[in-house]
Structure 1
Amino acid sequence: MNAAGQPTENRFQQGDTDLCYFEWGNPDHQTILMVHATGFHARCWDKTIAALPSGYHVIAVDQRGHGRSAKPDSLSEWSLMARDIRAFVDGLDLQNIVGVGHSMGAHVIVQVADVMPERFERLVLVDPTITEPEAYQNPPALADIDPNQNPVSRRRNSWASPEAMFAAFKDRHPFSLWQPDVLMDYCQYGLLPADDGNGFVLACPSYLEASVYEGFRSVDPYPLVKRNILPVVILRAQSVDDDVTAARDFANSPTWPNLVNIYPNAQEVHMPELSHFMPMQDPKRIAGYIAA
């Protein structure tokens, strides 16, 4: 990490891939590539990165439709997000990568490592959105997906300031579980100035976030999981047996508990005391598993 703890902001453009990314540390050191969850952004990793030991080169990417990256019409096709990261890894010629992904970002890392395993040393999957295998059978056609059917599409999109967003969220579940400084990062970098100059809007618009959730079955990860030979660590959060409660509470783990046994070379750390938002609750602990 640099002395001030602040990253450099950069841009990668190739074809329709247009990504903002943030970079810490010396490029000559081993690279940790960090990919965020649905609706989040690269700077949600700030406190985790700050807790890493020195001697790493860290890159955190705003995925398409998120943060300061370009906004497409839809994010229902999860393979496109993986294609972006593949182009990014190839374009920057990254090698010997520790691939870190949270939630949907972990699914994306799995896709990328499947195509270019020679670029990675190991993977750290933070409560990956990889549910039971049956869920990926007979997925809906992408043309039939309607993000407006997802309640996230009705999420409030405009805010007077990051501070106003923080005040509205800090006592609301699941944000109340987060460390306050991480929540402030989420609000500060998760908003962009509104086009009309009146306040701010979500950096990942609500309809795009909803399209991600509606498209989670678009890529079956299990063929990729079965042929992966890289070392993998799965950090799995709390889960509940009540399907109705689980469906309504984003704090519960989406990870199939048997996923670790499908991987040829994986270990799992089950942390039922933490929610799905474990990097936001205990960034220092997550940093320890990334560096281990």
Structure 2
Amino acid sequence: MPYADVGEGVRLFYTDDGAGERTPLLLVHGWGTDSHQWSWHIDALSARRRVLAVDLRGHGYSSVPESGNTPRAMAGDLDVLLGRLDIAQVVAVGHSMGAQVVSILAVEHPERVRGLVTLDPGYGLTPGPALDVPRMVAGLRGEHAHAVAEQIDEWCTNAATPAVIRRWHKRRLYGMPPHVLAEAFEALFTAPGAIGLRPASDDFLVRRRCPVLSIWADPERARWEAGLLKDPASKVVCWEGSSHRLHEERPAEFVHVLEGWLRRLERGRPGGGAGATAAGPATV
């Protein structure tokens, strides 16, 4: 399987499937997991276009730096990787923390990103007792880091989540280096430059100029993001009742929605308007 050196002693693992003239897809996983997260989707997506799936720094088979395991550094790695592969533009797809990473890529390297797909993104949260980031980070830096990570991960699932998905993510969390879990989690929400919490999310995300397809489980956050999108081909969808793992719980539906939006994007037709929010299972 391919590896690429992206500088600063960081080597990224990635897979490269499919081919064709259409804009390639770049699949970016979330916190505490790796590119195996896309195993439910790669076969279907790569039947029509080139698909790259990357392990972010500190995750999976990629290098584990002692520091610098932040969404911004991860976005920089992806820019270098695409350059190494001579890929001018991608549609970047990110789940959770990966949605932050691809949004940073789109803002700081806009020439690289034809469009964005963000899945229950790790941004737009409001501070409160349920999201006590300093306490969580302290736990991730403590003696029982993996148990704390598992507790944090509990909010990512609900009754709709199959047991195999719960087990899959638990196993990956326990294989993660604790310092990466702590550093990445803090960088998502409270470290300098973090964009995970409002109003920092608003201030950063309005700088995205490319079309965005965003799929949420939370109707309120779906409505919030719809107000930030600028390109008329953007679309927000809400699968109310799904969990944070919505694209793993509903893989065929996710592929269907994504491919429909991509067809409209490539034909230059709007995908429903920046303010369009579809409730429940969506067809686009």
* TM norm structure 1: 0.69
For residues 40 and 262 of structure 1, what CA distance do their matches in structure 2 show?
28
Deviations 1:158-202 (A, max 9, x none): xxxxxxxxxxxxx998387444665676578x38xxxxxxxxx60
Change beyond 3 A, Cα 1:148–1:55: closer
Structure 2 counterpart of 1:209: 181
What secondary structure, in the 3-state scheme, does the structure 2 residue paired with 1:125 have?
Answer: strand
**1:14 correspondence with 2:6:** yes
Structure 2 counterpart of 1:150: 139
Determine if contact 2:17/2:46 at 8 Å carries over to the other structure.
no
- Of residues 34, 40, 62 in structure 2, which corresponds to 1:69? 62
For residues 257 and 147 of structure 1, what CA distance do their matches in structure 2 show?
28
| 1:252-271 equivalence runs, <5 A | 255=221, 257-265=223-231, 266-271=234-239
- Structure 1 gap ranges (5+): 1-8, 136-144, 158-170, 192-200, 241-254
Question: What is the Cα deviation at residue 129 of structure 1?
Answer: 1.1
Deviations 1:103-149 (A, max 9, x none): 110111011111332332211111111125x76xxxxxxxxx79751
For residues 122 and 89 of structure 1, what CA distance do their matches in structure 2 show?
15
Higher relative contact order structure (alpha carbons within 8 Å, sequence separation ≥ 6): 1
For residues 6 and 156 of structure 2, what CA distance do their matches in structure 1 show?
39
Question: What is the Cα deviation at residue 224 of structure 1?
Answer: 4.0
Change beyond 3 A, Cα 1:56–1:185: farther
For residues 11 and 55 of structure 1, what CA distance do their matches in structure 2 show?
24
Question: What is the Cα deviation at residue 152 of structure 1?
Answer: 8.2
Change beyond 3 A, Cα 1:105–1:285: same
- Structure 2 gap ranges (5+): 128-133, 148-153, 196-200, 261-284
Determine if contact 1:99/1:122 at 8 Å carries over to the other structure.
yes
| 1:39-188 equivalence runs, <5 A | 39-52=32-45, 54-74=47-67, 77-132=70-125, 149-150=138-139, 154-156=144-146, 174=157, 177-179=160-162, 182=165, 186=169
Deviations 1:62-82 (A, max 9, x none): 001000111122456331111
RMSD between superposed Cα atoms in Å: 3.3
* TM norm structure 2: 0.71
Give 1:11's aligned amino acid.
Answer: Y
Aligned-residue identity in percent? 24
Determine if contact 1:24/1:57 at 8 Å carries over to the other structure.
yes
Change beyond 3 A, Cα 1:228–1:68: same
What secondary structure, in the 3-state scheme, does the structure 2 residue paired with 1:52 have?
Answer: helix
- Of residues 250, 255, 258 in structure 2, which corresponds to 1:282? 250
Structure 2 counterpart of 1:252: none
**1:219 correspondence with 2:194:** yes
Question: What is the Cα deviation at residue 13 of structure 1?
Answer: 0.3
